[in-house]
Amino acid sequence: MSEQLRAGFIGLGDQGGGMASRLIECGVPTTLWARREASLEPFRGSAATFASTPAELGANSDVVGICVVDDAGTEEVVLGKAGVLSGMKPGSVLALHSTISLDTCHEIRDAAAQSGVGVIDAPVSGGGFAAASGELTVLVGGERAHFDQAYPALDTFGGTIVYLGPLGSGLIAKLVNNTLHAAHYALARDALRAGTSLGLDEDALGQALSASSGNSHSLNISVMMGGFAELAPLVGSLLRKDVAIFDELAAKRGAATGSLIPVADEALDLFGFSRAPRAKESE
């Protein structure tokens, strides 16, 4: 790990907090900022420093990671008044870990280019436990030189880091992944229903499937949580957001998605987070 690399991080939720912790634990000089003081409390007494504004954080960092929930939040902390980009120096790199639209990603890239700042999209998969243990999957798009520059920071929390191509490639891969993840919930529900309707005990069947070739991460989570109702508040709203972004992107580019989106929508219905039908383009 280069001692010269300084990192900044914004977005200290379950996953982002683990990512920031890994940066600090691995000896990377790290600056943090959060809207709420409570988000910073777990880091008091650590080696982290704290900025009063996103701009100050940007000025103190060579690589800045953003892991807030959505497009609006990302735009606010990056492009807003005293946003992180206003403080970043030429030659530094902004890593967008949030699952956002490609339009927002490109808007940020264009704004950053005016200041000589590089941008990569680097969404992650794995959740809070994987973040804290440095085992996240990091999906990266952007210029290779910017990826190489940010790699020492990504390596602190990434167990698998995949460079996928130009800016936006990491986001596309994450959207495909999350839509497939949602679809797997619906398929797992149908499989368990089919087995129980044929006389099997649901708990025993879940245990059997989790150790067999039909296993999936979604099935494992649903079995571990004891059913789908308990999962709804944990995954429903985020999966709805990501499926909607993926659906819009696929429609815009005329990409074939087969049964992927309809089955993912079945899972959203199951969780009580049904999406409004996408408006068809006028002919």
Residue 242 CA neighbour count, 13 Å, CB half: 27
Q: What's the CA gap between 87 and 85, in Å, rounded?
A: 5
Query: In degrees rounded to 5, what are phi and psi of residue 277?
Result: -55, 140
Q: Which of 81, 89, 174, 252 is catalytic?
A: 174
Sign of the C-alpha dihedral computed for residues 131, 133, 139 and 143 taken in this order: positive
What angle separates helix 102-113 from helix 71-79, to the nearest 10 degrees?
10
- What residues does 64 pair with on adjacent strands? 8, 94
Report how far residue 109's alpha carbon sits from residue 179's, in angstroms, rounded to the nearest whole number: 25
DSSP code of residue 42:
G
Which residue in the block uniquely carries the two structure tokens 């099997």? 200
Q: Is 174 a catalytic residue?
A: yes
Using the Cα atoms of residue 148, residue 149, residue 155 and residue 160 in order, give the sign of their dihedral: negative
CB 57 within 8 A of CB 33: yes
Q: What is the DSSP letter of 80?
A: S
Q: Which two tokens stand for residue 150?
A: 């940010």
- Which residues are identified as catalytic? 174
